Amino acid sequence: MGKFSKKVGRESRNAHRKMQDKMAYMSEKSACRVQENANTVAKLLERSEPIMQKRIIQQCFQQVFAMSYMALHDEFGFGKKRVKKWYKRMLEIQHEALTGGSKTPYEDMLVALADDYNFDLNEAMDEVNAELNKEWYGTATP
């Protein structure tokens, strides 16, 4: 092998090594960018999570209120005035539960329903769900 061939081979190996180093640097730089982007997204999600939770809760609450209004109107003839009265009382109960010092207001409401009204909410929900599932799907479970 002549001097020229050796020189070309050496330069080729050097170029290859430089290319590998550059690719490693680029990969490392890309990885850093990806990590920075991931951190930015995580921070944005962390900041927006309470806002999104609030929106989801608000939408669920509005949906339950709308369905309740329709049921109260269709089944029991409630008009706007009576529905607003019902809604106001519901919010008062919620406020009492949340500001009453209890760490478990939902569980306390279930106990009050059972004790004061002889009504087991979970049992009633299970019964109605089974009844509707049987009507809609032909079986007690969907």
Task: Report whether pLDDT(9) > 60.
Answer: no
CB atoms within 10 A of CB 8: 12
Print burial letters for 13-51: b (CB count within 10 Å at least 16), e (below 16). Answer: eeeeeeeeeeeeeeeeeeeeeeeeeeeeeeeeeeeeeee
Q: What percentage of the chain reaches a pLDDT higher than 90?
A: 35
| E strand or H helix that includes residue 104 | none
Q: What is the pLDDT of residues 12-33, one digit of tens each?
A: 666 667 666 666 666 666 666 7
Give me the number of domains the chain comprises. 1
Answer yes or no: is 25 within a domain. yes
CB atoms within 10 A of CB 12: 10
Q: What is the pLDDT of residue 132?
A: 92
Answer yes or no: is 94 within a domain. yes
Please give the Cα distance from 114 to 109 (Å, whole number). 9
Answer yes or no: is 112 within a domain. no
Answer yes or no: is 56 within a domain. yes
Please give the Cα distance from 8 to 13 (Å, whole number). 9
Answer yes or no: is 141 within a domain. no
Q: What is the pLDDT of residues 48-96, one digit of tens each?
A: 778 888 888 889 889 988 999 999 999 999 999 999 999 999 889 888 8
Please give the Cα distance from 92 to 100 (Å, whole number). 12
For residue 141, which amino acid is it?
Answer: T
Answer yes or no: is 24 within a domain. yes
Q: Domain range spanning residue 45?
A: 3-101
Answer yes or no: is 114 within a domain. no
What is the Cα gyration radius of the chain? 33
As a whole number of angstroms, the longest Cα–Cα distance in the chain is 104
